[in-house]
Amino acid sequence: MMDRRSLLAAIGAMALMPAEAKQTDTSPQSAGWQNWSKSLPPQKAQIVMPDNVAALADIIRQTDGGVRPVGSGHSWTGLVPCDGAIVRLDKFNAIGAIDEKAQTAWMGAGARLKDLSPQLAEKGLAFRNLGDIDVQSLAGATSTATHGTGRDLPCLAAEILGVRMITGAGEAMEISAQENPDLLPAAQVSLGALGILTEIQMQLVARHKLHRRVWFAPYAQVLADAQQLFADNRNFEFFYLPFSNMAMCITHNITTAADTPRAHDESDDGVMQLKALRDWLGWFPYLRKKLLSAAIAAAPEEDIIGESWQLLSSARNVHFNEMEFHLPVDKGLDALEEVRAHIEKHRSAVFFPFECRMVAPDKAWLSPFNDGPRMSVAVHTHAPDQYEFLFTEIEPIFRRYGGRPHWGKLNRFSGADMRNVYPQFEAFAKLRATLDPQGRLLNPYLRDLFGAA
Ligand SMILES: Cc1cc2nc3c(=O)[nH]c(=O)nc-3n(C[C@H](O)[C@H](O)[C@H](O)COP(=O)(O)OP(=O)(O)OC[C@H]3O[C@@H](n4cnc5c(N)ncnc54)[C@H](O)[C@@H]3O)c2cc1C
C-alpha cells in the first residue's frame, strides 16, 4: 500500500525535486538523434557541432537536405528532424558582455539555463523567471516561448533584447536596439526558422531569493481561489492530481530571509508509485480516489527559502509526453475542468498531474502571450503509454476555449490554424522567406507550417 511519505515523493518527482538533484540533459549524442521523450523517431541526419560562426555559416550554405538547430531536445513537435544536419550550438556557451547596471548580458545561444544561472548569480544577476526545468539551451527555450508561471512574469523570450545569428542564407545578422530593431519581436520566438542563433542578449534582474510554499488543498477550493492566488503571489501554480479531487499549490515570493535547509529527493521512483496505484486500482476509480485523496489531505506543507534559480526549476526524471495550451485567463479554469472531467470519465490510464500556470503578455509575433496574459494548462502521459487521445479528445477542448498550443509541445495545429490565431503569422512567414530564400532551415514540419515549397 502506498504510504503518505512515498506519495509525497511521487508527487515530488513531478514538482518538488530540488534543481540540482539528478538533472538530466538528454542532448543528442553522436548519432540517431531523438527528442527527450523519444516521441519522435530516431533521426539519420548527421549531428554537427561547429565552434565558430564561419564554420556554422559553411554548414548552412553547404548541407543538402535541410539544416536544423537543436538545443537539449526537449521539444515534442517536429521542429528538429531533418535529413541534412542537426546542429548543436553547445560550443556557443560563454557569457559575453555584461552590463551590471542595466542588468543585461549577451550569452552563448547554446548555453544551458542551468549552467548560466550560477554564473549570473556570481555577477549579482538572475533570470526573472524560469520554467519547471532548466536543462534547456537558452536558444531552444526562447525559440518556443518557454515560460514559467506568474501573473506579471512574461515568458523567457520576452526578455530578449538582441540576437546574433547566421541566417538561412548563411549571412551574419544582428537584431538588437542598434541593428534592425523593428525585427526584434520576430526574433524573440523564432522556432529556429529565421537563422541559427549564436548569441542572445537578455534582460535580467538582480539576484534574489524566493520563499517557496507547497501545500495540498481540495481541487474545488483551489479552483475557487486560483485567480486570487495568481494575483497575490509572484509565482503561483497548481497541479491537479487526477482521480484524487486534490491539488498541490506552489507559491514563490521574493524574500531577504536566510536560506533554509532543502528537502532531498527521497525517491526517484516516486511518480511510478502513482502509476502503481493506477495499475492496481485503475478499474476502481472510487477506491483510487479515496486512497489518494486521504493520503494527500494529510500531507505536510513545504516551506523553504533559497536562490530563485534553485527553487523555480526541478528535475523531471520520469519521461512523459505533454500537451499544453495557453488559454485566455478567464477561460483557463473552465478548460481545465472540462479536461479533468473527460479524463476521469474516459482515460483511467492517466496518472501524471495536470499543471495550471499563468504568463504575462509580451509583443513577440509568435508568442502565445502576445494578445494578453494567458493561463497555461498542461496534460501529461507516461512516455510508454499511448497519447493519441490527447490530439483527438483533449486538443478539441482547448481549441474550443481559444487556446494557442505551446510551440514545443504536442499539438496538431496546421499552418492555417496558426494563421488564424496569430495575426502576425504572415509577417513572420514573409520574413522567414526573405532570410532563408532557399529554405535551407526548413524541414517537413516547418514546410507544412509555412506552406513553403
Ligand atoms: C521535462 C520537460 C519539462 C518542460 N517544462 C517546460 C516548462 O516548464 N515551460 C515551458 O514553457 N516549456 C517546458 N518544456 C518545453 C521546453 O522548454 C521547450 O520545448 C524548449 O523549446 C526546449 O528547449 P531545448 O533547448 O531542448 O530546445 P529544442 O527542443 O532542442 O529546440 C527547440 C526549438 O529551438 C530551436 N533552436 C535550438 N537551438 C537554436 C539556435 N541556436 N538557434 C535557433 N533556434 C534554435 C530548435 O530548432 C527548435 O525549433 C518542457 C519540456 C520537457 C521535456
In a mutational test of the pocket of ligand 1, which residue from 76, 136, 354 has the highest number of ligand atoms less than 8 Å from its CB?
Answer: 136
Q: Find out whether the beta carbon of 144 lies less than 6 Å from any atom of ligand 1.
A: yes
In a mutational test of the pocket of ligand 1, which residue from 24, 33, 40, 74 has the highest number of ligand atoms less than 8 Å from its CB?
Answer: 74
Which atom of ligand 1 lies closest to the CA of 132? Answer: 8
In this structure, the dihedral spanned by the alpha carbons of residues 108, 143, 135 and 319, taken in order and rounded to 10 degrees, is -160
pLDDT for the residue numbered 299 = 73
* Angle at the Cα of 311 from the Cα atoms of 242 and 328, rounded to 5 degrees: 50
Q: Find out whether the beta carbon of 71 lies less than 6 Å from any atom of ligand 1.
A: yes
pLDDT for the residue numbered 7 = 53
In a mutational test of the pocket of ligand 1, which residue from 23, 49, 70 has the highest number of ligand atoms less than 8 Å from its CB?
Answer: 70
pLDDT digit string (tens) for the chain, length 453 residues: 344 445 544 454 444 333 333 334 444 444 589 999 999 999 999 999 999 999 999 999 999 999 999 999 999 999 999 999 999 999 999 999 999 999 999 999 999 999 999 999 999 999 999 999 999 999 999 999 999 999 999 999 999 999 999 999 999 999 999 999 999 999 999 999 999 999 999 999 999 999 999 999 999 999 999 999 999 999 999 999 999 999 999 999 999 999 998 765 443 444 666 777 787 777 777 778 888 877 777 777 889 999 999 999 988 889 999 999 999 999 999 999 999 999 999 999 999 999 999 999 999 999 999 999 999 999 999 999 999 999 999 999 999 999 999 999 999 999 999 999 999 999 999 999 999 999 999 999 999 999 976
Which atom of ligand 1 lies closest to the CA of 194? Answer: 43
Which atom of ligand 1 lies closest to the CA of 73? Answer: 30
Which atom of ligand 1 lies closest to the CA of 407? Answer: 19
**CA 73 to ligand 1 centroid distance, Å:** 7
In a mutational test of the pocket of ligand 1, which residue from 35, 112, 143 has the highest number of ligand atoms less than 8 Å from its CB?
Answer: 143
Which atom of ligand 1 lies closest to the CA of 195? Answer: 43
pLDDT for the residue numbered 4 = 46
Nearest alpha carbon to residue 41 among 445, 452, 447, 451: 445
In this structure, the dihedral spanned by the alpha carbons of residues 405, 411, 412 and 415, taken in order and rounded to 10 degrees, is 40
SS3 203: strand
Q: Is the sign of the CA dihedral 201, 366, 115, 19 positive or negative? A: positive
Q: How far is CA 201 from the centre of its chain?
A: 20
The CATH code for residues 95-206 is 3.30.465.10
Which atom of ligand 1 lies closest to the CA of 72? Answer: 26
187, with CB counted inside 10 A (0-12, 13-18, 19+), is: buried
Q: Which residues pair with 217 in a beta bridge?
A: 247
| Alpha carbon distance 75, 322 (integer Å) | 10
SS3 308: helix
pLDDT for the residue numbered 273 = 67
272, with CB counted inside 10 A (0-12, 13-18, 19+), is: middle
Residue with CA at minimum distance from ligand 1 atom 32: 140
Q: Find out whether the beta carbon of 112 lies less than 6 Å from any atom of ligand 1.
A: no
Q: Find out whether the beta carbon of 318 lies less than 6 Å from any atom of ligand 1.
A: no
Q: Find out whether the beta carbon of 376 lies less than 6 Å from any atom of ligand 1.
A: no
pTM assigned to the model:
0.93
The b-or-e profile of 188-209 (16+ CB within 10 A means b, else e) is bbbbbbbbbbbbbbbebeebbb
2, with CB counted inside 10 A (0-12, 13-18, 19+), is: middle
Q: Which residues pair with 87 in a beta bridge?
A: 48, 69
CB 22 within 8 A of CB 265: yes
Neighbouring CB atoms inside 10 A of 302's CB total 16
Q: Which three cell numbers stand for residue 404?
A: 494557442
Q: How far is CA 49 from the centre of its chain?
A: 24
For the chain, what is the radius of gyration of the CA atoms?
Answer: 21
pLDDT for the residue numbered 210 = 98
pLDDT for the residue numbered 263 = 65
Q: Find out whether the beta carbon of 164 lies less than 6 Å from any atom of ligand 1.
A: no
| Alpha carbon distance 255, 267 (integer Å) | 29
The b-or-e profile of 256-265 (16+ CB within 10 A means b, else e) is eeeeeebbeb
Domain ranges of the chain: 4-20+209-405, 95-206
Q: Find out whether the beta carbon of 191 lies less than 6 Å from any atom of ligand 1.
A: yes
Residue with CA at minimum distance from ligand 1 atom 10: 146
Q: Find out whether the beta carbon of 68 lies less than 6 Å from any atom of ligand 1.
A: yes
**CA 405 to ligand 1 centroid distance, Å:** 14
pLDDT for the residue numbered 67 = 98
Q: Find out whether the beta carbon of 88 lies less than 6 Å from any atom of ligand 1.
A: no
SS3 394: helix
pLDDT for the residue numbered 453 = 65
Label each residue of 407-440 as H, E or C: CCCCCCCCHHHHHHHCCCHHHHHHHHHHHCCCCC
Q: Which helix (H) or strand (E) holds 280?
A: helix 270-281
Q: Which three cell numbers stand for residue 414?
A: 496546421
**CA 37 to ligand 1 centroid distance, Å:** 13
**Domain 4-20+209-405, second-level architecture:** 3-Layer(aba) Sandwich (3.40)
Nearest alpha carbon to residue 373 among 387, 361, 388: 361
**CA 298 to ligand 1 centroid distance, Å:** 36
Q: Find out whether the beta carbon of 143 lies less than 6 Å from any atom of ligand 1.
A: yes
Which residues have a Cβ under 8 Å from the Cβ of 99 and sit 6 or more positions away?
105
Which atom of ligand 1 lies closest to the CA of 37? Answer: 53
Nearest alpha carbon to residue 103 among 257, 210, 175, 208: 208
SS3 160: strand
- As a residue count, the chain comes to 453
Q: Find out whether the beta carbon of 131 lies less than 6 Å from any atom of ligand 1.
A: yes
